Amino acid sequence: MNDRVHAAYQIAKDHYAEMGVDTDRALAALARIALSVHCWQGDDVGGFENTGAELGGGIATTGNYPGKARTAAELRRDLDLAYRLIPGTHRLNLHASYAETDGKRVERNALRPEHFAAWIAWAQANHHALDFNPTLFSHPQAASGFTLASYDKGIRNFWIEHCIACRHIGAAFGRALGSPCVTNIWIPDGLKDTPANRRTPRELLRHSLDTILAEKIDPQYNLDAVEGKLFGLGSESYVVGSHEFYLGYALTRGVLLTLDTGHFHPTETIADKISAVLLYAPELLLHVSRGVRWDSDHVVTFSDELQLIAQELVRGGYLERVHIGLDYFDASINRIAAWVIGARNTLRALLGALVEPSDRLRVLDVAGDYTTRLALLEELKAMPLGAVWDYFCLQHNAPVGIAFMDAIKEYAERELAQR
Ligand code: RNT
Ligand code: ZN
């Protein structure tokens, strides 16, 4: 098979060269991209606090596929396999609820870097830089559906303290791994039905965020990001942290804006937003996901939307300014496969964008030759991207094609079946 992959790559390379594209350069550029792989696909966003609290905050996993990770050690083993099947070197995106506290109850506002010592050691040993998220859901203090925008000062303060603690943990990750940690704040606050007052919760949220971010932390270690949303389960009529809220917030405070592909109206895509926001914001965090009707968190497929996002990142020259994270959770299929399928698709889409004849396309734009532009873009869709992708997998010792499922099935029998 390796011979077949090499031979196919040579033919593809020549074919792309005829188009004016250097595939070796594209492969080298792809190898520099580190995806931030979300830990929470591995255990249905459960975390390991064992508080008995159900998944809350208007997000939900459906399905009961066997083999879910029950401990941090199991989750790390599952991640090890996923990373082996995803070509390249990638980051891990952790949530605060994945702290390891030796069976002791540690409140979220008292979390410290040492509660993530095992994660840091594992990340160092395996070359995964770390990103982080405070967890403002699945908790008694979030039972009302409100956290940083709560009318209750005690609740607000609890979550402010939690977010401050998380920024320090993020900075510790950045220091330990030698790469800035992006600490992303997403809150569930919202209402099922129309509020009488949309204004005050937004003022409260702004104030809470300002308090959280008051302390300056060296961006070499920690970068702050804020993530908005259109609606959640049970927050259909009003979400305090909407896109406009956070766009304004990020731009005036100089923090990163997070765009989650599942957090907009169904026909609205984030691809068009990237070049607009990056005129004003220094950096972006993406949560690559797939919205399907009311769910914003399906496994990422090789969709038009995914390809368009990748094209925007490459065409705009934004790869250095955009942190690419994954964010979905499916409990109805093998969870390791879910990670691998979504991550491989994201990388493959980026490769597709990297092998575009970008100079030629730009000339057509400027010349106003939209007919040729359309013709060329459609021809590109049938270029041998698969051969270049297979070669990338081979280069990085990851399985070629569907062979990654063999490793997952073997692991499912050996390891997951025991859970
Ligand atoms: C929820 C947000 C958020 C979460 C994670 C688990 O709608 O997308 O990013 O998915 O924090
Ligand atoms: Zn998200």
Q: Where are the beta strands (DSSP E) in 56-138?
A: 91-95, 130-133
Mean pLDDT value of segment 383-406: 98
Mean pLDDT value of segment 378-398: 98
Residues 287, 323, 330, 390: which is the catalytic one? Answer: 287
The pLDDT tens digits of the residues spanning 94-146 come to 999 999 999 999 999 999 999 999 999 999 999 999 999 999 999 999 999 99
Mean pLDDT value of segment 173-179: 98
pLDDT at 27 over 90: yes
Sign (positive or negative) of CA dihedral 178, 110, 208, 43 = positive
What's the pLDDT score for residue 209? 99
Mean pLDDT value of segment 242-268: 97
Residues 263, 323, 330, 356: which is the catalytic one? Answer: 263
What's the pLDDT score for residue 145? 97
Mean pLDDT value of segment 238-264: 98
178-to-39, 89, 127, 130 alpha-carbon distances in Å: 20, 15, 10, 10
Q: Any catalytic annotation for residue 390?
A: no
Q: Any catalytic annotation for residue 260?
A: yes
The pLDDT tens digits of the residues spanning 198-234 come to 999 999 999 999 999 999 999 999 999 999 999 999 9
Between helices 335-354 and 385-395, what is the axis angle to 10°?
120
Any atom of ligand 1 within 6 Å of the Cβ of 74? no
Instruction: Give the ligand whose atoms come closest to the C-alpha of residue 131.
Output: 1
Sequence-separated (6 or more) residues with CB below 8 Å from residue 156 = 147, 148, 149, 150, 204, 208
Between helices 304-315 and 358-367, what is the axis angle to 10°?
90
The rounded percent of the chain whose pLDDT value lies above 70 is 100
Tokens 């932390």 belong to residue: 217
Mean pLDDT value of segment 13-22: 97
The pLDDT tens digits of the residues spanning 39-58 come to 999 999 999 998 788 899 99
The pLDDT tens digits of the residues spanning 337-369 come to 999 999 999 999 999 999 999 999 999 999 999
Instruction: Kindly list the structural domains of the chain, giving each domain's residue range(s) and its CATH number in brackets, ordered by start.
Output: 37-357 (3.20.20.150)
Any atom of ligand 1 within 6 Å of the Cβ of 260? yes
Q: Which two tokens stand for residue 238?
A: 């009003």
Calculate the average pLDDT of the chain: 97
Q: SS3 string of 7-67?
A: HHHHHHHHHHHHCCCCHHHHHHHHHCCCCEEEHHHHCCCCCCCCCCCCCCCCCCCCCCCCC
CA angle 256, 258, 260 (to 5 degrees): 170
pLDDT at 1 over 90: no
At residue 70 the predicted structure's pLDDT band, cuts being 50, 70 and 90, is: very high
Q: Where are the beta strands (DSSP E) in 253-394?
A: 256-260, 284-288, 290-292, 295-298, 322-326
Q: Which two tokens stand for residue 79?
A: 């991640």
Any atom of ligand 1 within 6 Å of the Cβ of 59? yes
What's the pLDDT score for residue 171? 99
Q: Any catalytic annotation for residue 236?
A: no
- pTM beyond cutoff 0.75: yes
Nearest atom within ligand 1 for CA of residue 133: 11
What's the pLDDT score for residue 75? 98
**Strand-pair category, 284-288 with 322-326:** parallel
Any atom of ligand 1 within 6 Å of the Cβ of 136? no
Neighbours of 191 (CB within 10 A): 17
